[in-house]
Amino acid sequence: MHLTLLKCKLHRACVTHAEVDYEGSCAIDEELLELAGIREYEQIQIYNVTNGERFTTYAIRAESGSRVISVNGAAAHKAEPGDRVIICAYAGMTEAEAESFKPTLVYLNEHNRVTRTGDAIPAQAA
């Protein structure tokens, strides 16, 4: 059996730019890409916490240390600067691989600075 699990996420990143006329994608600070384990041109899902939009695009590299999160092309209609988003990448794996897998979770503040990292989401209380 093949499963698709959350590979990594940038949690509550702050959109810095929304560029309709830029070639489509989402530009992400290279340091954040590396920390989360998102590859350039990898498919990503973006969940806009501010307005509820959910969409698929791919990651491209923004200047290292810039803290840029730029939603580009048609996706720019789904986010605007200041919106908080969750950027996720997923990976396919076997049942055996999934047994020991832990995702990379990177939590950001409103300036796209890392506040903490983790590899598990606590159980939601009733």
Backbone φ, ψ for residue 93 (5° rounding)? -155, 165
Cα–Cα distance, 90 to 92 (Å, whole number): 7
Active-site residue (options: 58, 66, 90, 107): 58
Query: Per the annotation, does 82 bind a ligand?
Result: no
Query: Per the annotation, does 73 bind a ligand?
Result: yes
State the burial class of residue 116 (Cβ atoms within 10 Å of its Cβ: 0-12, 13-18, 19+): exposed
Query: Per the annotation, does 104 bind a ligand?
Result: no
* 70 tagged catalytic: no
Query: Per the annotation, does 65 bind a ligand?
Result: no
CB count within 10 Å of CB 61 equals: 17
* 47 tagged catalytic: no
Cα–Cα distance, 9 to 69 (Å, whole number): 13
Cβ–Cβ < 8 Å for 71, 17: yes
Binding site as annotated, residues for substrate: 57, 73-75
Query: Which positions are annotated as active-site residues?
Result: 25, 58
Binding site as annotated, residues: 57, 73-75
